[in-house]
Chains A and B, each alone.
Chain A
Amino acid sequence: MIQKKDVIIIGGGAAGLAAAVSCRQKGIDDILIIERGSYLGGILNQCIHDGFGLEKFNTSLTGPEYAQRYIDQVKEEKIPFLLNSMVINLSPKKEVIVANRKGLQHFRAKVIILAMGCRERTRGAISIPGTRPAGIYTAGVAQELINLKNYMVGKKIVILGSGDIGLIMARRLTLEGAEVQMVAEILPYSSGLPRNINQCLYDFDIPLLLSHTVVDIKGNGRISEVTLAEVDKRGEIISKSKRKVACDTLLLSVGLIPENELSRQAGVILSSITGGPEADERGQTNVPGIFACGNVLQVHDIVDNVSLEAEYITEGVMDYLQGRLQAQREIQIILGSGLRYVVPQKIFTIKDTIFSFRVNQPGKKKKIIFEAGKELVKKKFFPRVNPAEMLRVKLTSEELESVKRLKIRLI
Chain B
Amino acid sequence: MECHFQIENIINIYIIVISKKKGKDVLETTNNHYDVVIIGGGVVGCAIARELSRYKISVALLEKEADVGWGISCRNSGVVHAGFNYKPGTLRAQLCVKGNRSFAKLCQELDVPYKKIGKVVVAQKKEEVEELKRLKTQGEKNGVEELEIIDSDKLKKLESNVKGIAALYSPETAITSPYLLTIALAENALRNGVSFFLNTEVKNIAKLRNSNFKINTNKGEFTSSYVINSAGLYSDKVAHMVEKDKYRIYPCRGEYYVLDKNASWIINRLIYPVPKAGSGGLGIHFTPTIDGNILIGPSNEYIKQKDNLSTTSQIMKMLSAETQKFLPLISSRDIIRSYSGIRAKQAPPSEGGYWDFVIEESNSVNNFINLIGIESPGLASAQPIAKKVVGIINKKENLEADSDFKPFRKGILRFEEQDEETKKALIEKDPDYGEIICRCEQVTKKEIMEAIDNPLGAKDLISIKYRSRAMMGRCQGGYCLTRIMELLKEGYGLTPQEITLKGEHSYLLTGYRSDEVNI
Contacts and interface: CB of A to CB of B under 8 A. Distances in A.
B512 interface: yes
B511 A221 contact: no
10 residue pairs, one from A and one from B, having the closest CB atoms: A221-B505, A124-B337, A134-B501, A221-B506, A101-B431, A86-B436, A134-B506, A101-B434, A122-B476, A151-B509
Contacts of A369: none
Contact of A36 (B332, B432, B439): B439
23 contacts: A36-B439, A88-B436, A99-B423, A99-B436, A100-B434, A104-B420, A119-B478, A127-B316, A129-B312, A129-B316, A129-B338, A130-B310, A138-B478, A140-B478, A148-B482, A149-B482, A151-B496, A151-B512, A153-B510, A154-B510, A220-B506, A221-B507, A264-B262
Interface of B: 257-258, 262, 307-313, 316, 332, 335-339, 420, 423-424, 427-428, 431-432, 434-436, 439-440, 442, 474-479, 481-482, 485-486, 496, 500-514, 517, 519
Main secondary structure of the interface of A (DSSP, over half): mixed
B476 A150 contact: no
A336 to B, nearest CB: 24
Contact of A150 (B335, B481, B517): B517
A119 B313 CA distance: 25
Interface string A242-268: 000000100000000000010010000
Given A88-B442, A134-B501, 4 more contacts: A84-B435, A104-B434, A119-B474, A152-B496
B336 to A, nearest CB: 5
A127 B319 CA distance: 12
A262 to B, nearest CB: 10
B49 to A, nearest CB: 26
B121 to A, nearest CB: 27
B506 A152 contact: no
Contacts of A145: 482, 485, 509
Contact of A101 (B427, B486, B509, B519): B427
B287 to A, nearest CB: 17
B336 A122 contact: yes
B284 to A, nearest CB: 16
Contacts of A124: 258, 335-338, 476
B460 to A, nearest CB: 10
A41 interface: no
A22 B339 CA distance: 47
A152 to B, nearest CB: 5
Contact of B431 (A97, A102, A138, A140): A102
Contacts, number: 142
Chain A's interface size range is: 35 or more
Contacts of B309: 131-132, 220
Contacts of B316: 127, 129
Given A138-B478, A221-B506, A127 B338 contact: yes
Contacts of A248: 510
Nearest to A153: B509
A301 interface: no
B476 to A, nearest CB: 4
Contacts of B439: 36, 86, 261
A103 B432 CA distance: 10
Interface in A97-122: 97, 99-104, 119-120, 122
B423 A134 contact: no
Interface string A153-176: 111000000000000000000001
B514 A133 contact: no
A230 to B, nearest CB: 15
A220 B482 CA distance: 21
A153 B509 CA distance: 5
A144 interface: yes
A151 B497 CA distance: 10
Contact of A129 (B311, B496, B502, B511): B311
Contact of B509 (A103, A104, A123, A152): A152
A215 interface: yes
B313 A129 contact: yes
Nearest to A135: B508
Contacts of B501: 133-134, 221
Contacts of B310: 129-131, 216-218
Nearest to B312: A129
Nearest to A149: B482
Nearest to B476: A122
Contacts of A217: 310
A151 B428 CA distance: 34
A68 B340 CA distance: 46
